[in-house]
Amino acid sequence: MSRVKGLLALAVLASMLGIAVPAQAAKTNAAAARAECFRQANEAAANVGFSANTADRNAVGQDAYRKCCFKAGIRP
């Protein structure tokens, strides 16, 4: 009976470790997605043009960032 309990405990522990690894990977992927969204927002703000004021550039950058975040499935 103790052998069955030991195997059960090992199975539970292995499953917990298996759950922890993808959770860390999801955090890394979200950080990478967020960095890509920042890059796209900066690129969009830089391409506004010469006559745009700061508010226009900020609005374009924020819009691009939010669209990218929603597309990537992360919270902006």
pLDDT of 59 over the 90 cut: yes
Q: At what angle do helices 54-72 and 2-46 cross, to 10 degrees?
A: 150
Alpha-carbon span 48 to 71, nearest angstrom: 22
Domain count along the chain: 1
Amino acid (one-letter) located at 4 = V
**Residue 49 backbone class (left: φ over 0; alpha: ψ -120 to 50; beta: rest):** left
Global confidence as pTM: 0.61
Token pair of 31 as six digits: 């950080």
End-to-end CA distance of the chain: 52
Top-confidence residue, 29 or 19: 29
Residue 65 structural domain: 2-72
Decide: 68 and 41 in contact? Cβ < 8 Å.
Answer: yes
pLDDT of 76 over the 60 cut: yes
Q: What pLDDT, on a 0 to 100 scale, did the predictor assign at position 65?
A: 96
